[in-house]
Amino acid sequence: MGPKRQIYDKTYYMLELRKRSQELVDEVGGLNQEINAITQDNQLYLSLEKRYDSLVKTVRALEGDLADHNLATDKQRTDTRPEEVHHMYMIMKQQNEQQRNDVDEIFLEKRNHEEDIARIDQEIAAIARVAEDRLNELHPDQRREYEELREENGRLGQDVYEAREELDQVNGRLNQLEARLRSDMLRTRYQQLSSIRRELEERLGNLEQEVQQCNMSVPEQRDMLLSRVKSDNGDIVAAEKSNSDMKLDNERLRAQIREVTQDAQEKKDEGSDQQKYEILFTKDKEMTQFIDSFGESKAEEEKKLKEKQETIVNLLQSISKALALPQDVTPESHLRDMEDELDFKSKQLHNSETTQNRLEAELSKREGELEKIESLDVKISLELDQVEAKMRQYEHEIATKYDLVDEMRASGELRLQELAAQKASLESRNQALRQQVGFLKLRHDSKRQQLTDDTAAANLDAQEQKMRQFGQTLYTLQSFITQKNSESDFRGEMGACLDMAGTINKILQEQMFRPAPYA
């Protein structure tokens, strides 16, 4: 085989480019024809749409005329009186007038709002002009200072906004950290141990104080015990005085309760008032039981106070005995005896403090109960006033209503007659409305049948079907055109081919002008 063909010019490439260009021109011509066909279809679609709108308007007008004609025919066929037709006409006219007036009011309100908005805009513009004029009247230095202050104001506003955002972030972080601290078990344990440590420190202080008391001499201990005895006696006297005052107050309250109970017994009534009085009697019974048991409680407290006094006397006797000890008693035995006495005294002191606290709690409880008794007295007075008001109301109703049974019966019979007449009129109106509903139903069915038989409606349905088909065809063609445009974009290929042809020609020219090598 001989050597392959060698190309030394651009004729071959130009021929190929002409073929490709001719193919592209043919394809572009086909696309233009399709575009023209689509344009014609669009124009046809627009014309059909306009015709559809005009036909819809015509059909609606004809439907209104048909409805009026059917209504008049139904009225004529059912022997409806002209007065009823005129009445319906007046009702529809009033409704139309009302709707027209509402629309006019809405339009006027809208215009008023627009005028107000325009006036406010003018005022804002006037204020802005005045402010601008005043700024123009200022000295340049003052104007520059004003601009600087305004810039500083904007900058400070931005700084404040940023500071607020930072503050919100810090608060959020603080809340998160506080939540973490609250949920931290080690911190909770630390707080518990801190409270235990404070209690132990208090106990240690108390023990150190007791040790100091034990290291005191006998006269100092005697003086301390005497001072405690005096303070305890003062507390006992105060408690006895408080008990006597409470007893007198309880007697006074018991007398008041008896008086209120007697008044309530005299004025009590049947029904719901009886239940209220039973509640009051129950409360009175509870208070009476408390007052009756107060003597026993007082006796018990007096017994405990007496025991406390006897304990103090025994302590004083023990001190006297310790002072009267012979000289041959060793300090160690005496110290042990004193320690035993100290333990006993500590226990008795603890019991005394417990008793005092319990007495104070009992006293506060009795004071609270006393306040409840006083408030109960006020409530009883208010309830008695309400009972008297209801009694007067009941007496008035008996005098004005229940004693006039005949008159009430006559008025009731008259009311029944009026209601019976109203019922008859409503039943007649109901019958007429049912007939009208039947006529309207017949008219609706006749309209539906007429639409089914009407050729214009059938043509409209057919046109709608065609319009939907045209829409689908238009969408398909648009998609096809877009696809073909993307596929037939030859500009890039043409540029690449021209570049390659130029490169090849340049290479051939260089080879032609290059001198041939010698054999």
Contact 447, 70 (CB under 8 A): yes
Contact 348, 311 (CB under 8 A): yes
75 burial via Cβ count (<10 Å: 0-12, 13-18, 19+): middle
Let me know if residue 438 belongs to a domain.
Answer: yes
Let me know if residue 441 belongs to a domain.
Answer: yes
DSSP secondary structure of 286-336: HHHHHHHHHHHHHHHHHHHHHHHHHHHHHHHHHHHHHHT--TTS-HHHHHH
Contact 463, 52 (CB under 8 A): yes
User: Residue 332: its pLDDT value, please?
Assistant: 61
User: Residue 3: its pLDDT value, please?
Assistant: 47
Let me know if residue 128 belongs to a domain.
Answer: no
User: Residue 246: its pLDDT value, please?
Assistant: 79
How far apart CA 413 and CA 425 sit, in angstroms, is 19
How far apart CA 380 and CA 259 sit, in angstroms, is 11
SS3 of 484, please? Answer: helix
Residues 431 and 418 in one domain: yes
User: Residue 360: its pLDDT value, please?
Assistant: 81
User: Residue 447: its pLDDT value, please?
Assistant: 80
Contact 501, 37 (CB under 8 A): no
DSSP designation for 80: -
Let me know if residue 477 belongs to a domain.
Answer: yes
What contacts 9, CB < 8 A, 6 or more positions away? 505, 508
For tokens 């009823």, the residue is 84
Residue 441: domain span = 403-453
What contacts 232, CB < 8 A, 6 or more positions away? 308, 312, 352
Contact 1, 481 (CB under 8 A): no
Q: How far is C-alpha 170 from the chain's CA centre?
A: 26
Six-digit token pair at 314?
């025994």
Residues in the chain: 519
Among residues 37, 46, 48, the alpha carbon closest in space to that of 481 is found at 37
What are φ and ψ of residue 41, in 5° steps? -60, -40
Helical H runs in 215-271? 218-267
Let me know if residue 501 belongs to a domain.
Answer: no
Query: Model pTM?
Result: 0.21
Largest Cα–Cα separation, the chain: 159
Identity of the residue numbered 80: T
User: Residue 271: its pLDDT value, please?
Assistant: 46
Q: From first to last of its 519 residues, what are the pLDDT tens digits of the chain? A: 444 445 546 677 778 778 888 888 888 888 888 888 888 888 888 888 888 888 888 888 888 778 777 777 776 666 667 777 777 778 888 888 888 898 889 889 888 889 988 898 888 888 888 877 877 777 778 778 878 888 888 888 888 888 888 888 888 888 887 777 777 777 777 777 888 888 888 888 877 777 776 666 667 777 777 777 777 777 777 777 777 777 777 777 777 777 767 766 665 554 445 565 566 667 667 767 767 777 777 777 778 777 777 777 766 666 666 566 555 555 566 667 767 777 777 787 777 778 878 888 888 887 877 777 777 777 777 887 888 888 888 777 777 766 667 777 777 888 888 888 888 888 888 888 888 888 888 888 888 787 777 787 778 888 888 888 888 888 888 888 888 777 777 777 777 778 888 888 888 878 777 665 544
What contacts 243, CB < 8 A, 6 or more positions away? 298, 301
Among residues 140, 10, 5, the alpha carbon closest in space to that of 504 is found at 10
Angle at 506 between CA 503 and CA 511, to 5 degrees: 130
User: Residue 334: its pLDDT value, please?
Assistant: 61
Let me know if residue 194 belongs to a domain.
Answer: no
Please state, in angstroms and as integers, the Cα–Cα distance from residue 460 to each residue in 338, 444, 447, 448, following that order: 124, 20, 16, 15
What are φ and ψ of residue 233, in 5° steps? -65, -40
Domain count, the chain: 2
DSSP designation for 488: T
Let me know if residue 518 belongs to a domain.
Answer: no
User: Residue 26: its pLDDT value, please?
Assistant: 87
Residues 410 and 434 in one domain: yes
Residues 436 and 465 in one domain: no
For tokens 């592209």, the residue is 24
What contacts 10, CB < 8 A, 6 or more positions away? 501, 504, 505
Let me know if residue 436 belongs to a domain.
Answer: yes
